[in-house]
């Protein structure tokens, strides 16, 4: 049964928001940079947050706010993945969880593999945890992106001790295949390394693609891996501060259980309760409507680029609401987002922030209305005249 696409809020309502997306640049700039979306909250989340405020329920997060059970039910429903609630622990956000688990899993100075172009905070969280970034870029297969498993194997063979995986990948939107993830697990196990999988975009995999949780890719993946999940991207809850660390083996569970109590105390009460509402069966209809809207927009963007910026190179992503677009053919420099923001009044994310592979690229957030997306591309196209 088809689901009606969710409708984004009008611009005049969105400009009343006080978040980073709407306060970083002046009102004459269309913001399509940071990963916030423009849709109304899921009704169950709105009700839960309003109820908390009405009661003055703004204290510390309790030991068991229901997160683990709610996520386990969500993972089973949405991904066919059986998660043991006893192996789930919360924290403030995905990157904080990665830092703390990485700190507990490597020695100072150990190298950690990342797969650029990749989410910019990856480059910062590894040094924060005492590690050193080892870059192993994605392979361009001609029609998509893939992990360079041979190069990752070489990095681990030469002493790297961990892989920080983005699954689905940001900014390319690649949903890594089960076979690739299983082979990555074999490589990590062979070299005594661990894999930390950021799966924050997992609920937003589009038709024609499949999300495979890293821990479910194989028995070895369950043995070597940690997963980090959150409702924050799919349900636009980044400001509420709640993420989950998930494990599937006794050894990895012991690592997470051994983290300082303060790691879990940093979970926000509003974030925890909002996440429980997001993961509830009631919110599935809203999530399906969001996915339908994003599915339309990812294809709309392809058509807009073909019509207005025909030299742009864009692969329709498997997941999420972020598009990785190569504008280097227009000669706008290594960081075209700067020119576009200054001259066309459209803010895209800065390609070089994702690694040297991002030269000439921008990341476009299409989690907006079709009208805003169309205007953004049409404004950008005026720079070609």
Q: What is the pLDDT of residues 61-118, one digit of tens each?
A: 999 999 999 999 999 999 999 999 999 999 999 999 999 999 999 999 999 999 999 9
The CA-CA-CA angle for residues 177, 182, 188, to 5°, reads 125
Residues 191 and 73 occupy one common structural domain? yes
How confident is the model at residue 166, as a pLDDT?
Answer: 98
Task: Tell me how crowded residue 160 is: count the other CB atoms within 10 A of its CB.
Answer: 22
Predicted confidence at residue 2, as pLDDT, reads 79
Q: Exposed (0-12), middle (13-18) or buried (19+): which is 339, by Cβ within 10 Å?
A: middle
Decide if 81 contacts 175 (C-beta within 8 A). Answer: no
- Please report the pLDDT score of residue 171 as a whole number: 98
The percent of residues in the chain predicted with pLDDT above 70, rounded, is 100
Residue 243 lies in a domain: yes
The domain in which residue 106 lies consists of 46-282
Q: Which two tokens mark 180?
A: 């690739």
What's the mean pLDDT when you consider all of the chain? 98
Residue 1 lies in a domain: no
Judgement on whether residues 107 and 141 belong to the same structural domain of the protein: yes
- Does 4 reside within a domain? no
pLDDT at 385: 80
Residues 339 and 352 sit within 8 Å (Cβ to Cβ): no
Residue 20 and residue 50 share a domain: no
Residue 264 · residue 90 · CB < 8 Å? yes
The domain tally of the chain equals 2
Residues of the chain with pLDDT under 50: none
Instruction: Indicate if 256 and 294 belong to the same structural domain.
Output: no
Question: What local confidence, expressed as pLDDT, does residue 1 receive?
Answer: 63
CATH at 372: 3.90.1150.10
Q: What b/e readout covers 265-278, taking b as 16+ CB neighbours within 10 angstroms?
A: ebbbbbbbbbbbbb
């Amino acid at each position: 049964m088809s689901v009606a696409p969710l409708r984004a809020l009008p611009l005049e309502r969105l400009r009343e928001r006080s978040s980073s997306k709407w306060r970083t640049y002046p009102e004459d700039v269309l913001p399509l940079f940071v990963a916030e979306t423009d849709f109304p909250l899921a009704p169950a989340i709105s009700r839960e947050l309003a109820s908390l405020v009405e009661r003055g329920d703004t204290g510390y997060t309790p030991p068991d706010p229901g997160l683990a059970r709610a996520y386990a039910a969500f993972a089973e429903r949405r991904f066919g993945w059986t998660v043991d609630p006893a192996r789930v622990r919360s924290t403030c956000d995905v990157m904080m969880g990665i830092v703390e688990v990485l700190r507990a899993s490597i020695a100072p100075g150990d190298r950690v593999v990342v797969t650029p172009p990749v989410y910019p905070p990856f480059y910062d969280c590894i040094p924060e945890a005492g590690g050193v970034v080892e870059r192993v870029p994605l392979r361009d297969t001609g029609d998509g992106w893939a992990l360079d498993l041979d190069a990752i194997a070489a990095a681990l063979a030469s002493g790297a001790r961990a892989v920080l995986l983005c699954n689905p990948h940001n900014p390319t939107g690649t949903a890594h295949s089960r076979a690739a993830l299983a082979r990555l697990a074999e490589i990590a196990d062979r070299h005594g390394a661990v894999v930390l999988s950021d799966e924050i975009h997992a609920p937003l995999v589009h038709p024609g693609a499949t999300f495979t949780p890293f821990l479910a890719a194989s028995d070895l993946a369950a043995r070597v891996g940690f997963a980090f999940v959150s409702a924050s991207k799919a349900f636009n809850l980044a400001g509420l501060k709640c993420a989950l660390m998930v494990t599937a083996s006794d050894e990895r569970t012991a690592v997470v259980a051994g983290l300082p109590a303060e790691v879990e105390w940093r979970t926000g009460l509003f974030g925890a309760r909002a996440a429980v509402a997001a993961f509830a069966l009631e919110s599935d209809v809203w999530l399906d409507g969001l996915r339908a809207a994003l599915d339309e927009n990812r294809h709309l963007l392809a058509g807009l680029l073909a019509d207005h910026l025909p030299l742009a190179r864009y692969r329709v992503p498997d997941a999420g609401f972020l598009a990785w677009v190569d504008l280097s053919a227009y000669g706008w420099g290594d960081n075209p987002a700067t020119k576009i923001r200054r001259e066309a009044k459209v803010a895209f994310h800065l390609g070089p922030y994702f690694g040297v592979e991002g030269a000439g690229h921008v990341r476009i957030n299409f989690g907006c209305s079709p009208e805003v997306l169309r205007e953004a591309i049409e404004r950008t196209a005026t720079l070609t005249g």
